[in-house]
Amino acid sequence: MAIQLTQKERMLLEDQKSHEEVCIREYQEYANRAHCPELKQLFTNYASKEQEHLNTINQILNGQVPQMSSSQSGQQSGQSKQQSSMQNNSQAQNYNQEDATLCTHMLMTEKYVSGAYNTAIFEFRDPNIRQVLNHIQKEEQEHGEGIFNYMYQHGMYNPQ
């Protein structure tokens, strides 16, 4: 059964679609510019996840309610490994300033995109679509967490 979107729902999805397209381009570009192999891999992984988000948004725009993937649990275990390695590494490592700038920009971007999903979730009538958008928002928050953890681990970010 195809879903009928309101004009506002369609507008919100078009915004999220453009956000996902920007994230994909930036993560791909930044993966190429990053000096640290670990950061290159992080950005490459997030570009792939953002492509999944874009595909999901396009499905909704085409009137379909997508099925959520169960790949999220694998990402969470990867973040747990990153957190445990943070505890083993010295916080004040040397880092490349360009990598720090790329991370700062992407962390800022993830904060914005997550907030935009938050607004969209409250505007949708269909609870299944709300659930799908909530799933995407959770993954966006995990991207932000991963970037924060990388920055903290490499001495780029020191919360006071």
Residue 75 lies in a domain: no
Residue 159 pLDDT? 81
Task: Report the helix count and the strand count for the chain, using DSSP H and E.
Answer: 5, 0
Residue 70 pLDDT? 54
Distance from chain centroid for Cα 21 = 12
Residue 146 lies in a domain: yes
Residue 94 pLDDT? 72
DSSP structure class, residue 63: T
Residue 69 pLDDT? 61
Residue 14 lies in a domain: yes
27 CB-contact burial (10 Å; exposed 0-12 / middle 13-18 / buried 19+): buried
Residue 45 lies in a domain: yes
* Total number of domains constituting the chain: 1
Residue 64 pLDDT? 92
Are the beta carbons of 156 and 95 closer than 8 angstroms?
yes
- Look at the chain and count its residues: 160
Residue 72 lies in a domain: no
Residue 123 lies in a domain: yes
Q: Could you tell me the residue range of the domain that residue 126 belongs to?
A: 1-57+96-160
Residue 91 lies in a domain: no
Angle between the 97-123 and 37-61 helix axes, to the nearest 10 degrees? 20
Q: Tens place of pLDDT for every residue, the chain, 160 residues? A: 688 999 999 999 999 999 999 999 999 999 999 999 999 999 999 999 999 999 999 999 999 988 776 554 444 444 444 444 444 444 446 789 999 999 999 999 999 999 999 999 999 999 999 999 999 999 999 999 999 999 999 999 888 7
Residue 67 lies in a domain: no
User: Which pTM was predicted?
Assistant: 0.84
Compute, in degrees rounded to 10, the torsion defined by CA atoms 112, 115, 119, 122. 150
Q: What is the CATH number of the domain that holds 45?
A: 1.20.1260.10
